[in-house]
Amino acid sequence: MNWARRLGRSGVADAVAAVAVALLVGYTLVDPPGPPPSWPVWSAWPVVAVVSFPVALRRRRPRAMLAVACAAGALATVAGVAAAGAISVSFLPTVLVLYLVASTASLAWSLAGLAACLSAAVITILIFYAKVLPGLSPADAPSELPPHWPVEIGVIGVLLAGAWVLGAAVRWKRDTTARLVRHLAEAAVGDERRRIARELHDIIGHSMSLIAVKATVANHVADARPQEVRAALSVIEQTSRSTLTEIHRVLDLLRSDGDPQQAHLLVPAMAGLPELAAHARSAGVEVDMTVREEAALPPAVAVSVYRIVQQALTNVVTHAGPTRCSVTVDIDGRAAVIEVVDDGPRHGRPTRPGHGGHGLIGMRERTKAYGGTFGAEARPEGGFRVTARLPYDLNGDPA
């Protein structure tokens, strides 16, 4: 089943749809409801293959496959291979490809595709009924679908328009969902800064209180009990070091770049990764997520892992969706390794640059806080790859 893995679920579904459409078109051509075509019966199957194969490749080249499907249906109609009374069946592949184009391409482009396909269908049907049909042999028996060009044009018009409306609605929903995600993230920035301020208050208040108490004890017993002084100084040293480290991380989040995806301190962390994937899927991105967790992550590291994955998926939704994306998080007790790879945009939008942008800066800084390594680059075969490695010790500090 290696071929199925390479194609992916969507590729297999398109191949199955192409075979189903080919069988339907072939049955219609071999046993038409109206006068039979003048071509030999065996010639129907090569025509079926040409007319139907764009359905199998529509996700890779949607615009090109729309042109091929429409041209194939139109040529089959003009050449007299199409079934009189059911010419609309020959345009079913065009209908399926138009749906995908409408759900991924811009509104202007999809409207142009709809107009071109509808015009081609109308013109070729009129030519068929004016030039081809009069020369065909009459049907052996009366048909329940007698040939009438207004009916043929009406059926094809309804199918093409319906496919375009459904595709445009899907695209609108994806775009609306993506905008809503960005809006909610931007709205969370203000709340985030207030949470950071409260966190700073708690960190500094608790730590300085402990340091003040220990310093007072050390000052009072300095002459009488020097061992207690050493113990107090040790506590002060450990507390100040951990506090400075924590304050440094919190203050890094307060940079004034307006990053709408900046992380807050209290998040669902690792348990929230499936929800991130679900949000990306609702915006049109096919996400395959793999999490290998051999050891429990310290809370601070888990927050960073969660936010790096979140920002990477947000970049995929914003710059590449709809597309396919794989997310891998590997935790072995010494480091958290993250890889997010997407296949790139499916309808010709330019890929995002490999440098710059607040999202990449934020992920790079989070990785740097742990002394880790971060990479973001375009893939030669298309798409984008983001990698991050966060080494840490059992306390959640940089390794």
User: Which CATH class name applies to 263-399?
Assistant: alpha beta
Q: Which residue has the tokens 């402990």?
A: 210
**For residue 260, what pLDDT band results from cuts at 50, 70 and 90?**
very low
**For residue 38, what pLDDT band results from cuts at 50, 70 and 90?**
low
The domain ranges of the chain are: 2-178, 263-399
8 Å CB contact between 294 and 328: no
Tokens for 110, please give them.
Answer: 């999809």
8 Å CB contact between 322 and 174: yes
The tens digit of pLDDT for each residue in 67-94 reads: 999 998 888 888 877 777 778 888 889 9
Average pLDDT over residues 377-395: 88
8 Å CB contact between 147 and 129: yes
Please tell me the distance from the alpha carbon of residue 347 to that of residue 110, in angstroms, as a whole number.
11
Is the pLDDT at 216 greater than 80? The verdict is no
The tens digit of pLDDT for each residue in 143-159 reads: 555 677 888 888 899 99
Q: Which residue has the higher pLDDT, 14 or 128?
A: 128
| Three-class secondary structure of residue 117 per DSSP | helix
The single-letter DSSP state of residue 258 is -
CB atoms under 10 Å from CB of 142, counted, come to: 7
Q: Which residue has the tokens 């048909």?
A: 143
Q: Which residue has the higher pLDDT, 101 or 211?
A: 101
The tens digit of pLDDT for each residue in 93-126 reads: 999 999 999 988 888 888 999 999 999 999 998 9
Q: Which residue has the higher pLDDT, 108 or 236?
A: 108
**For residue 256, what pLDDT band results from cuts at 50, 70 and 90?**
very low
CB atoms under 10 Å from CB of 266, counted, come to: 10
CB atoms under 10 Å from CB of 59, counted, come to: 21
Using alpha carbons, list the distances in angstroms from residue 315 to 126, 281, 296, 318. 49, 13, 27, 5
Tokens for 112, please give them.
Answer: 């142009």
Please state the pTM of the whole predicted model: 0.50
Please tell me the distance from the alpha carbon of residue 170 to that of residue 209, in angstroms, as a whole number.
57
Is-cis flag, bond preceding 322, omega within 30?
yes
CB atoms under 10 Å from CB of 159, counted, come to: 20
Is the pLDDT at 263 greater than 60? The verdict is no
